[in-house]
Chains A and B, each alone.
Chain A
Amino acid sequence: MMDIVGTLRRTWANAVAHIDFPLLLITAAIMAVGLGTVYSATYDSTHRMMSQAGNMGIALVVMWVVARIPPQKLMSFAIPLYIVGVVLLIAVFLFGIKVNGARRWLSIGITRIQPSEIMKIAMPLMLAWYFHKYEATLKLRHYGVAALLLLLPFGLVAKQPDLGTALLIGGAGFYVIFFAGLPWKIIIGLLASAAAAAPILWNMLHDYQQKRILTLIDPTTDPLGSGYHIIQSTIAIGSGGAFGKGFLNGTQTHLEFIPEKHTDFIFAVYSEEWGLLGNATLVALYTLLIGRGLMIASAAPTTFSRLLAGAITLGFFTYAFINMGMVSGILPVVGVPLPFMSYGGTALITLFLGIGILMSIQTHRMLVKK
């Protein structure tokens, strides 16, 4: 009898050995909120909610598997994954499927894949590996090479065009370079020249991207066109008030005023029904998530794991900030989902790949020290 209990206990201990419970609890809390909001947003059929719950199950399995892979092993995936990602992005550029004017998908017989999704993980992985390799002899030119490694996929994704994903990939890569110690002088110099180049960049943007930024400054110029999204979502948030209209009672949501309400604009649905209190809670949860991630990065034993953990964590921040910023009308509308909340299986799996990597870095730390 004791034996069975002992075996069970050991099996359990082994199964959860690489789970970081604070991280798991925080993401579970955000996902619970997300599932409830998907339910409200797609109230006329529970099919989305069920399918999202299924996605979460799969994503958790992915996380569990990745968490068990030691960081040294993860490092060996860096180059192949990056190369595969870039090759697929080039393939998209050449033979991708066009949906709504953007070439983002690649057909592989039975299904379609979005290779830019792979890059969200492959990018920081590659750069973390690169800086790890040259950590002892780091020179300024290494930052230059890293910037090239970053710009190639960034450019390919931005060209699709998918500005939202390009920003996420670019952000993840930049964080690695930043944490690797890019001198402040260069950072400030870059910011200054970016400001100077803004008019040129402006002309390179697609019409619809320009329009989005213009309507951000004054949404009322195009109330039925591209301003519609922002006007309706800010009304949803504002009318939610301090305590919200209550679960399933959002009129903006249920009268169909909010576009893409279970995906990119899910925050408007949540905010309308739960108010400022709900928003503060959600922002607090994201802050906890990021705090935990930064703690893991700070305690990580190698350059590779440090840079990777830091970049992934700030990646979560980018997602959350850009999404909530665009829905509440302080950032332009770019297609970025709200992490762990928005409906969609692919994005969820990518996020949990990140969580899995953080857990792996955290739980293999002791082993490295020994």
Chain B
Amino acid sequence: MGDFNNPEADLDRFRFRLGFAAVFVIVCFGILIGRFVWLQVIQHDFYQTRAEDNRIALIPIVPNRGIITDRNGIVLAHNYSAFTLEITPAQAGNLEETINTLAEIIDIQPKDRKRFKRLLDEAKNFESIPIRTRLSDAEVAKFSAHRYRFPGVEVKARLFRQYPLGTVASHAIGYIGRITERDLKWIEDSEKQANYKGTDHIGKTGLEQHYEFELHGETGYEQVEIDAGGRALRSLKRIPPVSGNNLQLTLDIKLQEITEKAFGDRKGALVAIDPSTGGVLALVSTPTYDPNLFVDGITPENWKELNDHPDKPMINRTINGAYPPGSTFKPFMALAALEMGKRTPQQAISDPGYFTFGNHTFRDDKKGGHGVVDMYKSIVHSCDTYYYVLANDLGIDSIAKFMGSLGLGQRTGIDLGKDDSGESKGVLPSPEWKKQRFKRPEQQKWYAGETISIGIGQGYNAYTPIQLAQATATLANNGVMFRPHLVQNIVDTKSGEKRPVEPKPLRDLGWKQKNLDVIHRAMIGVNKEGTGTRAFAGAPYSVGGKTGTAQVFSLKGAQYKESAVKKHLRDHALFIAYAPVENPKIALAVLVENGGFGAQSAAPIARMVLDYYLLGKLPAGAAQEDSEAIEEEHEE
């Protein structure tokens, strides 16, 4: 019994200790209250004075944002310093009156007032807010003479972002804009709050957003004596900011500019890639927009115009437009057949001009058919029947597996936007995809008949131009696949050291060289004796290509509705190409929305891009004066 404790005594002891704890709590809190009385009553006057002339404030100094240049050092985004007229509301008294008086000596437009009001609502109490940006020297002088009349108003030098080439490559570069609540969350999630004190702009899209934390730089601080109103009196110590890192792109801006001009007022997209690195040489989405409109806060009118425009200039078609690849799909189908051993190059069909499956007839473009067609001819003359039969023989699962390995129907992970989620996946048709895409069981089933039109790049097929370009580059590079990327070097401003963005091969698809040779030969044939002959007449380099024509869908493309395809809308024109075939320097995919046949409108653009990139000149007959104008713009 002696080993056991007495529960009654235990409880008493516990309650005694509770009481002891309560006393302890009250004593501790009593000490706290004593401390508060000391600080807030007895020493109040002392601290009151300390607070009033609280001297040291840390004022952030915003770093210069990194500069973006193309592969040859041509500046695409930089900063310039300009004078702004700013009001600190806490010191200015009646704002309305101040602005009215200011308007007597400086030109202040209604839009300036509107912006000021908007910024005022967002701003902190003691921050100065611009009423006018980009003052002229004359205006600065004029205001300085009247300065004494305006307490709380001052001229400040601020840095502004500028995109000197305007609309050129705007979808790649992106733009910056004022930080919103959503951006704040991004900053907090990345634990960068401290570094963003004083920063009011942030990358909103494109490279500006993807490389935000490289471009931003490190915020510096100035310790200043300030008075209770927040006015700086004297600088005590300064930790200078470190400018953001510069980006050197893989993009060739002259090539980009020529390509954009070649599109004219047609809608479309072009992506050109260096197959041996994945470096993007041109990334065109037309129509474009002027990113400079966004820097100061876009006006509601401009925003409405850009957003409501039927041609959707704000959409980056290269990564967000999903289109059926049409006949550009055929070389990949043929390669799949060779790799799986389902065809030999010599194996031929006799094409009557149609293929019957069940009770449905799939027609070839050419009435009466192409006669005897082997693999070479099927690509050169773009024979549909050959691929109807092939698709049926391969089956949807094999097709999906092969095309998936090429990156079709998946995000490429190109360095645009905050993360991958800005990029569209497109549609790689498969029974699994259909199961996920549709809700009703009868829609979820994959019908064998649906496989047939997959073979010619129609049906549910929908890929982004960047995916098509990546697939073409992979083919050109004999199966070694790279992730497309736009930045070649990140130039560290602190050390001056260049950090190259290493091209890393994503995977080697391990295709057999003899199979590849068949496809390469056929794709050269396309431009020598097939559908691309006219566009590539007289080209002094060897070039592989394939034309394509895709039935029109809505831009988002993920949904295939036969009834929605309006007859009066022309088809989309496509072209994929790479050159020189033996040692490819460039691979590309072009798409012209509503451009009709690929051979007609897409192939000539491809020719222009290849000629310019490989030969440094435009094909004879192309708008020569344009290129000269560009030369002059960039050469100093």
Contacts of B52 in A (CB 8 A): 239, 251
Q: A178 in the interface, Cβ–Cβ < 8 Å? A: yes
Given contacts A44-B124, A179-B17, A294-B18, contact A279 B40 (CB under 8 A): yes
- Whether the pair B51, A241 counts as a contact (CB closer than 8 A) is no
- Whether the pair B18, A290 counts as a contact (CB closer than 8 A) is no
Given contacts A235-B50, A239-B48, A251-B54, contact A297 B18 (CB under 8 A): yes
- Whether the pair B29, A286 counts as a contact (CB closer than 8 A) is yes
Nearest CB to that of A237 among chain B residues? B39
User: Once bound together, how far apart are the Cα atoms of A223 and B56, in whole Å?
Assistant: 10
Given contacts A135-B5, A255-B126, contact A287 B25 (CB under 8 A): yes
Given contacts A47-B181, A291-B22, contact A236 B41 (CB under 8 A): no
Of B222-230, B305-313, B563-571, the one with at least 4 CB within 8 A of chain A: B222-230
Q: How many residues of A contact B (CB 8 A)?
A: 55
Nearest chain B CB to A256's CB is how many angstroms away?
Answer: 7
Residue from B5, B14, B124 within 8 A of A179 (CB atoms): B14
Q: B501 in the interface, Cβ–Cβ < 8 Å? A: no
Q: A55 in the interface, Cβ–Cβ < 8 Å? A: no
Contacts of A290 in B (CB 8 A): 22, 25
User: Once bound together, how far apart are the Cα atoms of A329 and B38, in whole Å?
Assistant: 12
Contact with A along B42-72 (1 / 0, CB 8 A): 0110111011101011100000000000000
- Whether the pair B44, A238 counts as a contact (CB closer than 8 A) is yes
- Whether the pair B25, A317 counts as a contact (CB closer than 8 A) is yes
Q: A4 in the interface, Cβ–Cβ < 8 Å? A: no
Given contacts A179-B14, A286-B29, A290-B25, contact A43 B40 (CB under 8 A): no
Residue from B31, B124, B185 within 8 A of A330 (CB atoms): B31
Given contacts A44-B123, A286-B29, contact A239 B36 (CB under 8 A): no
Of A75-83, A320-328, A360-368, the one with at least 4 CB within 8 A of chain B: A320-328
Nearest chain A CB to B449's CB is how many angstroms away?
Answer: 42
- Whether the pair B41, A276 counts as a contact (CB closer than 8 A) is yes
User: Once bound together, how far apart are the Cα atoms of A350 and B366, in whole Å?
Assistant: 73
User: Once bound together, how far apart are the Cα atoms of A324 and B25, in whole Å?
Assistant: 13
Nearest CB to that of A238 among chain B residues? B47
- Whether the pair B40, A235 counts as a contact (CB closer than 8 A) is no
User: Once bound together, how far apart are the Cα atoms of A244 and B124, in whole Å?
Assistant: 22
- Whether the pair A238, B29 counts as a contact (CB closer than 8 A) is no
Nearest CB to that of A248 among chain B residues? B125
Given contacts A238-B43, A238-B47, contact A179 B22 (CB under 8 A): no
- Whether the pair A239, B51 counts as a contact (CB closer than 8 A) is yes
- Whether the pair A298, B15 counts as a contact (CB closer than 8 A) is yes
Q: B442 in the interface, Cβ–Cβ < 8 Å? A: no
User: Once bound together, how far apart are the Cα atoms of A275 and B40, in whole Å?
Assistant: 7
Q: B80 in the interface, Cβ–Cβ < 8 Å? A: no
Nearest CB to that of A138 among chain B residues? B5
- Whether the pair A238, B50 counts as a contact (CB closer than 8 A) is yes
- Whether the pair A224, B226 counts as a contact (CB closer than 8 A) is no
Q: A217 in the interface, Cβ–Cβ < 8 Å? A: no
User: Once bound together, how far apart are the Cα atoms of A310 and B181, in whole Å?
Assistant: 43
Given contacts A238-B43, A256-B58, A276-B36, contact A294 B50 (CB under 8 A): no
Contacts of A287 in B (CB 8 A): 25-26, 29
Nearest chain B CB to A342's CB is how many angstroms away?
Answer: 16
Contacts of A254 in B (CB 8 A): 124-126
Q: A306 in the interface, Cβ–Cβ < 8 Å? A: yes
Residue from A136, A181, A239, A324 within 8 A of B14 (CB atoms): A181
Nearest chain B CB to A39's CB is how many angstroms away?
Answer: 14
User: Once bound together, how far apart are the Cα atoms of A238 and B3, in whole Å?
Assistant: 57
User: Once bound together, how far apart are the Cα atoms of A279 and B184, in whole Å?
Assistant: 32
- Whether the pair B14, A234 counts as a contact (CB closer than 8 A) is no
Q: A45 in the interface, Cβ–Cβ < 8 Å? A: yes
Nearest chain A CB to B220's CB is how many angstroms away?
Answer: 15
Q: For residues 17 through 35 of chain A, which have their beta carbon under 8 Å from a beta carbon of chain B? A: none
Residue from B5, B32, B50 within 8 A of A283 (CB atoms): B32
- Whether the pair A294, B22 counts as a contact (CB closer than 8 A) is yes
Contacts of A175 in B (CB 8 A): 21
User: Once bound together, how far apart are the Cα atoms of A135 and B40, in whole Å?
Assistant: 48
- Whether the pair A224, B56 counts as a contact (CB closer than 8 A) is yes
Given contacts A44-B124, A279-B36, A298-B18, contact A238 B46 (CB under 8 A): yes
User: Once bound together, how far apart are the Cα atoms of A230 and B195, in whole Å?
Assistant: 23
Residue from A136, A255, A291, A303 within 8 A of B57 (CB atoms): A255
User: Once bound together, how far apart are the Cα atoms of A314 and B17, in whole Å?
Assistant: 12
- Whether the pair B5, A136 counts as a contact (CB closer than 8 A) is yes
- Whether the pair A237, B47 counts as a contact (CB closer than 8 A) is yes
Nearest chain B CB to A355's CB is how many angstroms away?
Answer: 17
User: Once bound together, how far apart are the Cα atoms of A99 and B50, in whole Å?
Assistant: 34
Contacts of A294 in B (CB 8 A): 18, 21-22
Contacts of A256 in B (CB 8 A): 57-58
Nearest CB to that of A309 among chain B residues? B18
User: Once bound together, how far apart are the Cα atoms of A298 and B191, in whole Å?
Assistant: 44
- Whether the pair B4, A136 counts as a contact (CB closer than 8 A) is yes
Chosen A-B contacts, 13 in total, with CB atoms closer than 8 Å, are: A44-B122, A99-B191, A138-B5, A179-B18, A181-B14, A232-B54, A238-B47, A239-B50, A283-B32, A290-B25, A314-B25, A317-B28, A325-B32
**Pairs of residues from A and B, 5 with the lowest C-beta to C-beta distance, nearest first:** A238-B47, A239-B51, A238-B39, A276-B40, A44-B124
Residues in B lying within 8 Å of A, measured CB to CB? 3-5, 7, 10, 13-15, 17-18, 21-22, 25-26, 28-29, 31-33, 35-37, 39-41, 43-44, 46-48, 50-52, 54, 56-58, 122-126, 181, 184-185, 191, 223, 226, 228, 230, 237
Residues in A lying within 8 Å of B, measured CB to CB? 43-45, 47, 99, 135-138, 175, 178-179, 181, 223-224, 232, 234-242, 251-252, 254-257, 271, 275-276, 279-280, 283, 286-287, 290-291, 294, 297-298, 303, 306, 310, 314, 317, 321, 324-325, 328-330
Apart from A135-B5, A255-B226, what are 19 other A-B pairs with CB-CB below 8 Å? A44-B122, A45-B181, A45-B184, A136-B4, A137-B5, A224-B223, A235-B47, A236-B51, A238-B43, A239-B44, A239-B52, A251-B51, A279-B33, A280-B36, A290-B25, A294-B22, A310-B17, A314-B25, A321-B32
